[in-house]
Chains A and B, each alone.
With several copies, the nearest count.
Chain A
Amino acid sequence: MSKLALDPVLATRARELAARAAAPVVELARAHTTVSVERAVLRLAGLTGTDPVTGDGPEQDRVPWVNRVVDAVRDQVGLESGVALPVWHALTSGTAHDLQELAEQVGAGTARFALPADPEPAREAARTAVATGIARIDANRARRDELVAGLGDPPRRPWIYLIVATGDIHEDIPQAQAAARAGADVIAVIRSTGQSLLDYVPEGATRTGYAGTYATQENFRLMRAALDDVSRELGRYVRLTNYASGLCMPEIAVLAGLERLDMMLNDAMYGILFRDINPRRTFVDQRFSRMVHARAGIVINTGEDNYLTTADAVDEAHTVTVSQLLNERLAHEAGLADWQLGLGHAFEIDPDRPESFRLELAHALLARGLFPDAPLKWMPPTKHMTGDVFRGYLLDGFFNLAGALTGQGILLVGMMTEAVVTPWLSDRDLALRNVRYVLGSAGNLAEDFHPQPGGFIDRRAHTVLAEAVDLLERIADHPQGLIQAIADGTFGITRRSPDGGKGLDGVVRLAEGAYNPALELLEGVRV
């Protein structure tokens, strides 16, 4: 349902410009690898566990074998050709029976790596090994389709998306189940504040996160299993979301595929802007992770909403549109289909601003109109939420109404305590009651909602689109495109230089003959 008549010429123009602006990023991503991409390859090949020697604390604090191996390879032969060749060369040449044993040799300091003269056997073996991981991802995708077919999708759009964030997986689980029973269609477990900056993925079931729970393969498994139970109980497939972001974006993407997560937060710029992660690192990592998501049939959620927490939602509305177009472009390039693009936007206009609600409607309709086939992710008010929880509850109700009026695909449920604490059990329950009331009583009001051509809403949407095209022109005209725009502080009024931020040392320019079996297998297919 499109309620606005957007200028098709302008829309096409916008996409052409976005492609040009994104080109330098794609080039950069193709020409490099990162430690995390290489670790992701080993994970696909089945290497798990941590090095016991690296700490007698809880397992989550020990260094995973994938890190030890990649570091060892890097020390001995460098990563310019990727880990696959040296690792499987070692295996094919019989120094170890399997990856696990090889890893232990690394632990013992006895492993020796070299680049094979004839790469074929190693390639061969690596491809086979990684293919098992890809096969498991494919199996999970098939299993999801089967469960959805059997149990069914949510009865309506938007899907109701809810966050749990206790820091303790064993508290998260009952809360997630409670939320599902109360009507949530999608559960997101947000991560401990620090995880983005860890250059390894913790292991095991964890109970000690701050303002979020660590993303670990075991936590993924436990939560997915718990949601499968509740899905059966409710006769509705409840989806699970986590975050493929931060320094381990590619590995998390792989773990998500291996544990049948359904959606992943995965933005081309979030880590750069809001975690001060190096842009090159992020661009390489996001491309790999998006290829994995494409293969896994995972819906990604982008993070444009975040810009509006640091920039003004009206003045900078067009930067959201620009970012959505860039995320779309980079996603398509990585093989994601439109139905997998949960492009982000948010209800973040100052509520005290006259006409704020109608301005929100204009922005939301613009996104809806520009991306008709994408399941837009509609984010609730956060920045202007205050400790006045009554006002907050009302504001969230109007956010829900805007979602229904403008046909959003995924509605992230707002919490009245947004400005106070990470959501309580009762906040989530009250929030879902809010959603039920609004969708139940006024969900069909869209039938009676008809912004007048040339009216306030229509005019506003066109203004924002025009501003977006102007900005894209300027970005596309620069040789560095998006990379330069980020350095200029275009998004979320935050400047990030290509050489700054965390994790640059983990980026390696690929050499002639470099080999990454995962890329090869993933690029093979196009979903």
Chain B
Amino acid sequence: MSDGTIVRPYGDTTGDGMVQTSFTLPVPPGPRAEGAALQLANKMGIEPAMVVHSHGIGGGGGTAGEGAAFTFFVVYGSVRHLVDLAAVEVEERAYPLLSPTEVNAAIKTRLRRSLVVLGACIGTDAHTVGIDAILNLKGFAGEKGLEYYREMQVANLGAQVGVADLVRTARDRRADAVLVSQVVTQRDAHLRNTRELAGAFREAMGESRPLLVVGGPRFDPAMAAELGVDKVFGRGTTPGEVASYLVHALVPEEEQ
């Protein structure tokens, strides 16, 4: 339905630009609050904007009405912004998606030794389901995890691993790649931790540091450079994507 590279949000008619938004303002409910909500909506580019719902939060009385200090709003309207698809820099896969057999073959014939992969959840993050989904045999979304790949030597260090320990282990085991998961994002914990990770490896190993791959549901794949790591995977990543990337990044092209 999009003509060319410029599109707008679609409510029920091409180009109507309709969006829904909701937010809370630290203002008691009332006309002033509604006006404030409209002001914000307009600043977001929603014009005309309709405050279609509002209610107080935190007031006395069971229903949180009276004397509420906050107001929650639902706003509908048309954003004037245009979306330029041409300007979208996509993290399209820059490498082919390989089957486990292909991955193993590539490593065996072109790297000629098994690929050493370390995985962990750093800091105080105890969410292992994500990294397990990538590493464990069981895998994710029907794809087997990296442990299933014959030519990979995978060690899953689990959760709450200190960065220092991780660096040490990586050096000892001559890891080719270190895979780190970060799920808790409150106060950008995941970004801080990732930067700390990158820093520590640079410190300790400089150029010879292993490939650094981080992942988690709230990461933006476009942030790798900014975070000082080689690759970032977001929500819904599958083991196959990761394996394919590792081959792409670590296994020399076959020279023809």
Contacts and interface: CB of A to CB of B under 8 A. Distances in A.
A and B from one assembly? yes
A210 B24 CA distance: 22
Contacts of B50: 420
Interface in A412-444: 417, 419-426, 429-430
A-side interface size class: 35 or more
B59 interface: yes
Contact of B126 (A183, A193, A389): A193
Given A171-B13, A419-B52, A420-B76, A425 B159 contact: no
A424 B77 CA distance: 12
Which of A165, A183, A419, A426 is most buried by chain B, counting CB atoms within 10 A of its CB? A426
A423 B53 contact: no
A275 interface: yes
Interface string A80-106: 000000000000000000000000000
Given A193-B124, A420-B76, A210 B64 contact: no
B72 A275 contact: no
B217 A174 contact: no
Interface string B188-226: 010000000000000000000000000001000000000
Which of A165, A182, A233 is most buried by chain B, counting CB atoms within 10 A of its CB? A182
Contact of A181 (B53, B64, B72): B64
A426 B59 contact: no
B20 A429 contact: no
A309 interface: yes
A446 interface: no
Given A387-B74, A419-B52, A422-B186, A166 B12 contact: yes
A490 interface: no
Contact of B64 (A171, A182, A422): A182
B229 interface: no
Interface in A146-199: 165-168, 171, 174-175, 177-178, 181-183, 192-194, 196-197
Interface in A268-286: 274-276
Contacts of B235: 387
A192 B186 CA distance: 10
A135 B206 CA distance: 60
B126 to A, nearest CB: 6
Contacts of B72: 426, 429-430
Nearest to B138: A493
Nearest to B14: A171
Contacts of B160: 197, 275-276
Given A193-B124, A193-B126, A421-B186, A387 B52 contact: yes
A422 B20 CA distance: 14
Interface in A253-276: 274-276
A425 B70 contact: yes
Given A390-B22, A425-B24, A426-B72, 18 more contacts: A175-B12, A175-B58, A178-B64, A178-B70, A193-B184, A197-B160, A211-B184, A276-B126, A387-B53, A389-B53, A421-B12, A421-B76, A421-B185, A424-B11, A425-B57, A425-B70, A429-B58, A430-B72
8 contacts: A178-B57, A211-B184, A276-B159, A386-B52, A388-B53, A388-B74, A419-B52, A421-B76
Interface of A: 165-168, 171, 174-175, 177-178, 181-183, 192-194, 196-197, 210-211, 233-234, 274-276, 309-310, 386-390, 417, 419-426, 429-430
